[in-house]
Amino acid sequence: MKITFLPKDFMINACRKINSNVESDFLVRAIRIKNTTPDTIVTNKIVFDIKIKGKIVKQMVYTSGCLKSLTKKLVERVARISSSPAQISQLILGTEKLWDNDNMSNETILKPGQETGILQEHFRILNQSPVDECVVSVHYLQAGKEKKAVSRIPIVKYENKNRYIFPLKGAWLAINNYDNIYIHRQCYGQEFAMDFIQITKDFKFCSKKKTANKDYPGYGKNIHAIADGKVAECFNGIPENPSGFGSRLDKHEWGKLREKYGFVAALTGNYIVLKHNGNEYSFYGHIIPGSLKVKKGQTIKQGQIIGRLGNSGNSDAPHLHFQLMNGPSILNARGLPCQFTNLKNICGEPVPFIEENNSMVHAG
């Protein structure tokens, strides 16, 4: 039996203090289980043991009844992903293919070479210390004997290689961060992505449904480089979405743009990717067309204005989509948490890492 994790090297723990304890928050994006034995086997249990310094602090068990339902749903979900453009699989898994679709089993019986697994298992655990290991055990019946295959993966708190500043100035509402597990975090490269919007003085996103792009509080605001670096990629040819919250380009028009400029540009609108020391890359999306102040290969200084906040691509209204990654592509680079040195909350207290969805923050 072979057990493969995704991500394969380690999982990132988004820790935060809760009174005197630590809340650990991590996502097992996918697990691939392949029958490498010469026999047909029956999986009857999958066990997750979450550990701190070798001691189990939480255990989750999928029994045979759960697995029967789980395997059927996995086959259906993988089929839907596979039937979509290849970029969808990359967006969700970071790779075009994890499972061998032709050899996936929709039941707990695995013939030689057949596969099953788990897609996106989220853990949030409160303890005195952060968790540091996830152990997965697959219990199965082979030739009448109970057997077990075990695989381990470390859980680490990622430390940034650089000191970053916030990409905008003034007060901003941070939404759809890792604390909201159903939005960006569903995607491999966007696990720690965030959207930044500004609200009106009466705490509204917009004054009316048909508010023009230019009348949104954050529209046209300068976007700043979060650290010294070099422009790895940029794009400046996607038109602005129509005015009005939720308005998008006509579906046919958007399809033509995707065909002409590619999936990434159509999805993110006009964008910039900066490469920083330590192979960390910052991404800025939905920029106003024609407002980019950089070009590919250009050296950039921290705080330099690189573009203006807009409403291009897959966007409901003017905002900045921001994320940190370990590579230049939002399709297969891994999402990384980003700490800021100049950010404060509404009480004026430092906020190195935005922990909660819908947080109001301020940068000078």
Give the model's pLDDT for residue 339. Answer: 98
Whether residue 322 lies inside any domain: the answer is yes
- Say whether both 239 and 194 belong to one domain: yes
- Say whether both 211 and 262 belong to one domain: yes
- Say whether both 50 and 187 belong to one domain: no
Mean pLDDT for 338-348 is 96
Bridge pairing between strands 170-175 and 133-142: unpaired
The per-residue pLDDT for range 103-140, each reduced to its tens digit, is 999 999 999 999 999 999 999 999 999 999 999 999 99
Domain count, the chain: 2
pLDDT above 90: residue 98: yes
- Say whether both 150 and 185 belong to one domain: no
Q: Token digits for 153? A: 């993966």
- Say whether both 134 and 218 belong to one domain: no
Give the model's pLDDT for residue 246. Answer: 79
The per-residue pLDDT for range 8-27, each reduced to its tens digit, is 999 999 999 999 999 999 99
Q: Tell me which long-range contacts 195-198 makes (C-beta under 8 A, separation of at least 24).
A: 195/319, 195/320, 195/321, 195/322, 196/167, 196/168, 196/172, 196/319, 196/320, 196/322, 197/172, 197/173, 197/317, 197/318, 197/319, 198/170, 198/171, 198/172, 198/173
Whether residue 121 lies inside any domain: the answer is yes
**Residue 266, domain extent:** 170-363
- Say whether both 131 and 238 belong to one domain: no
State the pLDDT confidence band at 207, using cuts at 50, 70 and 90: low
Give the model's pLDDT for residue 33. Answer: 97
The CATH number that applies at residue 148 is 2.60.40
Residue 43 CA, distance from chain mean position: 30
Give the model's pLDDT for residue 202. Answer: 78
The per-residue pLDDT for range 36-60, each reduced to its tens digit, is 999 999 999 999 999 999 999 999 9
Mean pLDDT for 175-182 is 96
The per-residue pLDDT for range 281-317, each reduced to its tens digit, is 999 999 999 999 999 999 999 999 999 999 999 999 9
State the pLDDT confidence band at 150, using cuts at 50, 70 and 90: very high
